[in-house]
Structure 1
């Protein structure tokens, strides 16, 4: 199983595999997890009541940090999309507007986990140095 170094990079991979390709199952919904734990069924209300606006809900972080993704599945990833509207961000932070650095990727050390990655859409959110890292690996950064 892969060991991700950058949580935010892992979330972009989860977005692709779970919410776009639907290969990583079961699909995570914060509302379901909150219900199961007896914490309510409205993620927005839960985040608001617990001072978690513009933060990652700890239950979601815990879920995604412990989520195991096999090498075979990671090898299917050819494209990643970096966009503040990614569903995984809504599931992690019900109250978040994409206007801060909460989900900025700090490192591309995890690229080695994606041997077939060919393109990163929205790479302008990475900054010039990380974009150069992608291009140096032959990955289209647009």
Structure 2
């Protein structure tokens, strides 16, 4: 079992494999997931349960438990940090990108991506982890701001 240390870093990998490359399936849809549990109006559910600007329990559990095979991780050559990621909207449907909800806290999970060559969003990453660009450079990963 591949274990990620940083949930938000894992979400970046999920974004790449599930929503961009479509190689990690099935594709998770919070709206569909909640509909299957009897929630027809996701926005109302979030508001009624005071869940705005939080990662909902259902997608957190799904993505934490999601197994990503090593062979699939080895296909990741590029990661991007962008506040508009689909995976972020699946986790927190009422999120405006104005806080640190999805900030990466550590880069230990780089070990899981042996072929990573490019990280786009370096400026944002540098604000999350001050020495991030140096860590990437030491591993031969190009950071694009």
- TM-score interval, normalised by the smaller of the two chains: over 0.9
Aligned to 1:14: 14
How far off its partner does 1:37 sit?
1.6
Matched residue SS, 1:80: strand
In the alignment, structure 1 segments of 5+ residues that lack a partner are: none
Q: What's the counterpart of residue 133 of structure 2?
A: 131
SS in 2 for 1:141: strand
1:61, 1:92 within 8 Å by CA — same for their partners in 2?
yes
Normalising by structure 2, report the TM-score: 0.94
Tell me the residue number matched to 1:91: 90
Q: 1:26 Cα deviation (Å)? A: 0.4
- Quote the offset at 1:126 in angstroms: 1.4
Q: How many residues align?
A: 141
Residue 133 of structure 2 corresponds to residue 122 of structure 1: no
Question: For residues 135 and 42 of structure 1, what CA distance do their matches in structure 2 show?
Answer: 45
Equivalent position SS for 2:115: coil
Q: Is 1:28 matched up with 2:28?
A: yes
Matched, 1:141 2:143: yes
